Structure 1
Amino acid sequence: MSFTLATWNINSVRLRKGLVEKLLNEEAPDVLCLQECKSPVDKIPTEGFAELGYTHMVARGEKGYNGVAILSRLPLEEAGAEDFAGLGHARHIAARLENGVTVHNFYVPAGGDVPDREVNVKFGQKLDYLTEMRDRFHAEKPEKSILVGDLNIAPREDDVWSHKQLLKVVSHTPIEVEHLGQTQEAGGWVDITRKDLPEGQLYSWWSYRARDWDAADKGRRLDHVWATPDIANAAHSSRILRAARGWEKPSDHAPVFATFDL
């Protein structure tokens, strides 16, 4: 069985329903993981997605904030949802496909603007969230699993437009990179995107603040696809659909794809 999976921070699934449908129609991933849906589950516009063949969904939602959903053409069942750091936020949902693969969809807290937990509660929440993810993967080693989502950290020097200029900017600070690395190591997760695309600058997010995001190209790779070692070698064809950042009224994130032959 071969299937293609995509992850995308959509920044409001209701506002950008048309963009989701455009992606499903033009790119046709078998599974699409969305973050920052900003919608209660019962308000997610599933009818249009179902008409395109995406008749399966598991989701966690809340009004106006956060929210994660997994849309699929393939049958799946919910496999849990965690509230790491006890924030009460809809930031994680898991689903199990018929081939036994578990897909975890995460929206890690952004962390605010100041990288200091003493003056910025949100930064502390981000670090605590990652710590609890790490501890869970230590305690329950994942197998036959894929982890995707907006992890809100660009870990490598070539995952940002300027390593030197962003060292003190939230999403690329050494302490965040360290926490993400510990989380990845705890589960034995393989960074599939970088396995397939090991060299060069690679971004999935460009700020709305840039007058011409494409020309400025001050991006960061905040969106990730990981897999456990037992299935990592089955992954290939990773790509980031940069063009989606230029669609009308876009999300500030671009979708990230990978295909698995399992």
Structure 2
Amino acid sequence: MGVPQLGCRCAVCTSTDPRNHRTRPSIHIQHGETQILIDAPPELRLQLLRTGLDQHLDAVLITHTHADHIMGLDDIRGFTIYTGRTVPVYAEASALDDLKRVFRYIFFPYPPGVSIPQIEFREITGVLEIGTLTIEPLRVFHGEMPILAFRIGDFAYVTDVSYIPPDTWVRLQGLKLLILDALRREPHPTHFHLAKAIEVANELKPARTLFTHLTHDLDYETTNAELPEGMELAYDGQVIELA
């Protein structure tokens, strides 16, 4: 729901620490000239403008089709208007069905001069090669819903997860950076809560772990002080460089 949360006046929602101000999760990845997004949340336009990442985009990858991960997809039109390039959007077959239903207006016939996102839906069936990036899709579960995580080199992005199958667990070994779901302090049926996320990170042993998809349960400074070495909360606009 983002932080501040509507109607809430808790210490985190009223915090002046910008690291407690949380839009819905997505990540921008750049390798050389290649730039991709994973997910397109409702605040995508604001995220891109705030970080100056609004000039070039090679692809969008979708983990799953809950509203907080796709409802900014229409804002991709900003890239296509000024570049004249179609942006591919990659997702599983079931997710593509959802996207075509939710964004069906994109494919209606329009007269010249009408602005619509120029996107092309592409099915994820295996490892992706996008520009200079090799991207491995990984199966995880969001409650009973099968969704995707992604591994790119020594980095993995695992959001909205409550269960990691054994085959995926093997593929999450040897990471320099793991970005992992840690919704709140109390257990949740479809997300890792903080203690579970810490347990998973301790077992996978990445060099560094950032926790994402955070609610107002988790104050940035207070929670970071409690975390084991090598683990921390992610925050909006954070930039991480990997060698």
Give the alignment's TM-score, normalised by structure 2.
0.42
- Pair member with larger Rg: 2
Which structure carries more relative contact order (alpha carbon 8 Å, separation 6+)? Answer: 1
